Amino acid sequence: MRRLFSATFTNGTVHFSLLLLRLVFGGLMLTHGWPMLMNFASLSHKFADPLHVGHTVSLGMVVFAEVFCSVFIILGLLTRLAAIPLVVCMSVALFMIHAHDTIDVKEKAIAFLAVFVVLLFCGPGKVSFDSLIGR
């Protein structure tokens, strides 16, 4: 029972937690971006353009972040680098696209942003390709 309320942790639990974050949130983000990739042509003319770079370029940047960077996050390959476009993407979604929406609309972007910021700061953990490469 004391262990349940303990504030101590082991390196193994931290590495497992980072693996779990990468797999779950990377996978969820991938399932969000995949339909955009599959319907790129039909979405490219009507996709939001909050940065005023063009609808097609905006969609391309979002697909790059949500599909390709998510795969890198899941694999733990170039994790910190892959987290940057996802942090930017979720920041734009939260502070520009959903700026005037209620919290229940914003909560997904907040959760994803928080997780990708954690991965940006902490890295992928030991169970990752980054860890294998760094040896």
Give the list of residues 6+ apart from residue 27 with CB closer than 8 angstroms, or none: 70, 74
How many degrees, rounded to 5, is the angle at CA 66 between CA 55 and CA 87?
Answer: 95
* pLDDT (0 to 100) of residue 28: 97
- Whether pLDDT at 3 is above 80: no
Mean pLDDT of 105-132: 94
Mean pLDDT of 80-92: 97
Question: Which residue, 78, 97, 86, 113, is CA-closest to 30?
Answer: 86
55: which 2 tokens?
């609808």
Burial class of 61 by CB neighbour count within 10 A (0 to 12, 13 to 18, 19+): middle
100: which 2 tokens?
């005037």
Evaluate whether 129 touches 75 at the Cβ level (below 8 Å): yes
* pLDDT (0 to 100) of residue 1: 67
74: which 2 tokens?
């899941």
Evaluate whether 38 touches 32 at the Cβ level (below 8 Å): no
Give the list of residues 6+ apart from residue 18 with CB closer than 8 angstroms, or none: 119, 122, 123, 124, 125, 127, 128
- Whether pLDDT at 30 is above 80: yes
* pLDDT (0 to 100) of residue 116: 97
Rounded Cα distance between 60 and 63, Å, is 5
pTM, rounded to two decimals:
0.89
Neighbours of 55 (CB within 10 A): 14
